[in-house]
Amino acid sequence: MINSESEDTDLVFYDENLCGLDPLFHVHCKLFIVDVLNLSPYPTLPGAYCYKNHPIFKVDIMGIIASCQEKQKNFILGVDDGTGIISCCVWKEKVETGDNDFRSFLPESLRLKTHTLHPEFSLGEMVHIRGKIKSYKGVNEIMINYITAPVSSVSAELTHMLQSPYLYKTVYDQTLVLASEVQKLQLEANEIRTGLKPLENVMRELLAKITVFNIETIKEHDIMHRIQDSLGVHESLEYVESMLNKVLKQMEHQGLICSRSDLGNSTYESLLNPKADLKLLIMDIIKKEVYNGNEYGCSLMTLRSSLEKTSQYTDISDVAVNWCLDQLETSSSIIKITNTCFMPS
């Protein structure tokens, strides 16, 4: 289980492009529920959580159903493994009503019954759950992609109980240390980031207040002299402007800003602004799709297609769209039903 914070102060968190080298990045980790609840966001990888310095996306738990709340489109299960209780969301299956649906050949009375068939969960049942960790209103939850209910095999329960402590001791509690060649690449990346970090901090502060901008807009805010001060050196304005362009490219790569197709070259939109046009448009598209009868949410493909039809975002990058979706989900403005479907909260 997670140790005290004082023991974790020297942990090294690797860059986003290196996280995939950790085997735990790709598997469902058999963690205790108390540890799942205490996981914090991974500093360099949006959407991931950290146990020690391991990037964790998915977990595998087994426990007893302590509560069950049925809603129109899903079940919310409270699962208890003796260390804590966590909310787990399992979505009801979509009912197909087309001509190819076998139910269309049944008598109406039977067809109505099949449309109302959903999994049944009973309090006190042992369940085996695998799913992705999500945070809703600051509390970690599990979006279920696999569930066995009830677990009828005693051996399966015992196996899980015996495996978890062994995995903690031999894998989870061992700090991730990559090969020396990889660490060298990490140091080089840190040097580049450290050199640009003061500039990025100044730009983040400015871009949180404006929406659309270009280099001339930045100059009007007397930002060039502030950047000179942040660098701690007295370089020419030409040098500062070249460094500024590097920072903008880095921020665009991170999805913090995006280029605008309708306003000419070198014109950007700040996505750090809570009222950014792209965020508002994404919300409108998702709401419109749901209100038009798609009760299972707006797919990522539909969202991208709608954005590309606009004059502003014909060439919008995936990273910018994903960053906006993550921010809207973090603020509980939208709910991520699956990896590619969203609906307003």
- Bridge partners, residue 27, by sequence: none
> Which one has a higher pLDDT value, 150 or 10?
150
Confidence band (pLDDT; 50, 70, 90) for 49?
very high
Whether 253 shows a pLDDT value over 60: the answer reads yes
pLDDT at residue 287 tops 80 = yes
What percent of the chain lies above the pLDDT cut of 90? 28
In this prediction, residues 288-300 reach a mean pLDDT of 84
Cα separation, 283 vs 50, whole angstroms: 29
pLDDT at 303 over 60: yes
Mean pLDDT for 318-335 is 89
268-270 vs 257-259, strand pairing mode: antiparallel
pLDDT band at 64 (very low <50, low <70, confident <90, very high): very high
pLDDT value of position 237: 66
User: What CATH number has the domain spanning 5-172?
Assistant: 2.40.50.140
Tokens 């696999």 belong to which residue? 146
Q: Name the more confident of 111 and 144.
A: 144
Task: Answer yes or no: is pLDDT of 290 > 50.
Answer: yes
Q: Please indicate, yes or no, whether the overall pTM of this predicted structure exceeds 0.85.
A: no
Which residues lie closer than 8 Å to 327 by C-beta, 6 or more apart? Answer: 271, 279
Provide the β-strand partners of residue 143.
89, 132
For 199, counting Cβ atoms within 10 Å of its Cβ (0-12 exposed, 13-18 middle, 19+ buried), the class is buried
pLDDT in the model for residue 97: 52
Higher pLDDT, 81 or 340: 81
- Output the DSSP codes for 220-272: HTTHHHHHHHHHTS---HHHHHHHHHHHHHHHHHHTSEEE-TTS-TT-EEESS
| 7-16, 210-219, 239-248, range with the lowest pLDDT | 7-16
Map out the domains of the chain as residue ranges.
5-172, 180-267, 277-344
- pLDDT, residue 5, reads 46
**276: which residues sit within 8 A by CB, 6+ positions away?**
211, 269, 270, 324
pLDDT at 291: 86
For residues 130 and 28, the answer to whether their CB atoms sit within 8 Å is yes
Residue 185, pLDDT > 60, answer yes
Torsion angle defined by CA atoms of residues 260, 265, 271 and 275, in that order, rounded to the nearest 10 degrees? -60
d(CA 197, CA 190) in angstroms, rounded, equals: 10
Region 334-339 average pLDDT: 84
* CATH code of the domain occupying 277-344: 1.10.10.10
Question: pLDDT band for position 220 (50/70/90)?
Answer: low
Specify the pLDDT at position 336: 86
